[in-house]
Copies of this chain bind each other. A is one copy, B any other.
Amino acid sequence: MTGPAEARKRFRDGLRVPTAGYAPGFAQANMIIVPREYAYETLLFGQRNPKPCPIIDVTDAGSPHTALAEGADLRTDLPAYRVWRDGELADEPGDITAYWNEDLVTFLIGCSFTFETPMLAAGIEIRHLTTGGNVSMYQTNRPCRPAGRLSGPMVVSMRPIAAGRVADAVRISGQFPAVHGAPVHIGEPEALGIEDLSTPDFGDPVEIREGEVPVFWACGVTPQAAIMASRPPFAITHAPGYMFVTDVPDHTYAV
């Protein structure tokens, strides 16, 4: 079993894989890094859209360190990053040291992987863990509440759940409101503007079997959709599914 510090070391040393299933029992986080000039709007975007953007830590400008993982370096410890210029993907490095400067503020955002461990413990299959792939994520037709210059659609992650276990999945994830909480939508992908579940906007497609329902949770990739829609001059994020592994036990976020 890989612990969080060991997982971060492997990613720091170059391993480039989705982080689902790594350091089970420890919370993972989405990340968005912006110049100080965008920090207030980014924090406000999170406050106004707490389901997709539950902010769990904010660094001081220029600091690559977080209270969520002692000794971690946010510039090197994720398996993959995305660098954005004017809303366009400019680079997808495994290390952002070359892009770092003292003006950057980092926001860590809760991740639905946090409630996958208790769902597994309750006997609910998490398909992308079974197959070893990345979770499926989709842009929706639901606009977030704008914050100044930042706006964009909500992104959701999808897990196929056996119809008889959907209520349990709701109940268990609902105990974690700080990391997306209960699903935002169950079944009926068309109502979210998702035409084809087999072609996710981010991550890998996953098989939906007979008797399973697609269940949608608000997703921390939403700030990346806001970057694409709002086109700030510069930003860095994690690559979808390639998260920051924290030292915080999952149950810390349970109510």
Contact = CB atoms under 8 A, between A and B. Distances in A.
A48 interface: yes
Contacts of A40: 39-40, 43
A247 B43 CA distance: 25
A255 B44 contact: no
A137 interface: no
Interface in A155-214: 174-175, 177-178, 181-182
Contacts of A2: none
A141 interface: no
A58 interface: yes
Interface in A46-77: 46-48, 55, 58
Interface of A is mostly: helix
Contacts of A255: 174-175, 177, 181-182, 255
Contacts of A181: 255
Contacts of A47: 43, 46-47, 55, 58
A40 B44 CA distance: 9
A200 B174 CA distance: 36
Contacts of A182: 255
A174 to B, nearest CB: 6
B58 A48 contact: yes
A104 B214 CA distance: 44
Contacts of A46: 47
Contacts of A174: 255
Interface in A4-49: 39-40, 43-44, 46-48
Nearest to A36: B40
Given A44-B58, A47-B58, 13 more contacts: A40-B43, A43-B43, A43-B47, A46-B47, A47-B55, A174-B255, A175-B255, A177-B177, A177-B178, A177-B255, A181-B255, A182-B255, A255-B255
20 contacts: A39-B40, A40-B40, A40-B43, A43-B43, A43-B44, A43-B47, A44-B58, A46-B47, A47-B47, A47-B55, A47-B58, A48-B58, A174-B255, A175-B255, A177-B177, A177-B178, A177-B255, A181-B255, A182-B255, A255-B255
The 9 closest A-B pairs by CB, nearest first: A40-B40, A43-B43, A177-B255, A47-B55, A255-B255, A44-B58, A47-B58, A39-B40, A177-B177
